[in-house]
Amino acid sequence: MKLVKTVKELNESMQLLRTRGTVGFVPTMGALHKGHISLVENATCGNNVVVVSIFVNPTQFNNIDDLERYPRNLDADLNMLADSGCDLVFAPSVAEMYPVPDNRKFRFGTIETVMEGKYRPGHFNGVAQIVSKLFDTIKPDKAYFGLKDFQQLTIIKSMVKQLNLPVEIVPCSIIREKNGLAMSSRNRLLNNEETENAAIISNTLFMAKELVGKKSVKELVEWVTEKINSNPFLNVEYFEIVDDTNLQHIEHWEEDNTKVGCIAVYCGKVRLIDNIVLN
**DSSP state at residue 176:** B
Distances (CA, A) of 108 to 51, 120, 155, 156, 178: 27, 15, 7, 10, 36
Residue 201 neighbours by CB distance under 10 Å: 25
Contact partners, residue 57, CB within 8 Å, separation at least 6: 29, 97, 126, 127, 129, 130
Q: Is 33 a catalytic residue?
A: no
Closest CA to 26 of 13, 12, 45: 45
Residue 102 neighbours by CB distance under 10 Å: 16
Active-site pick, 36, 123, 249, 252: 36
Distances (CA, A) of 123 to 113, 114, 221: 10, 12, 25
Outline where DSSP puts E strands in 130-167.
142-146
d(CA 228, CA 265): 9
Active-site positions read 36
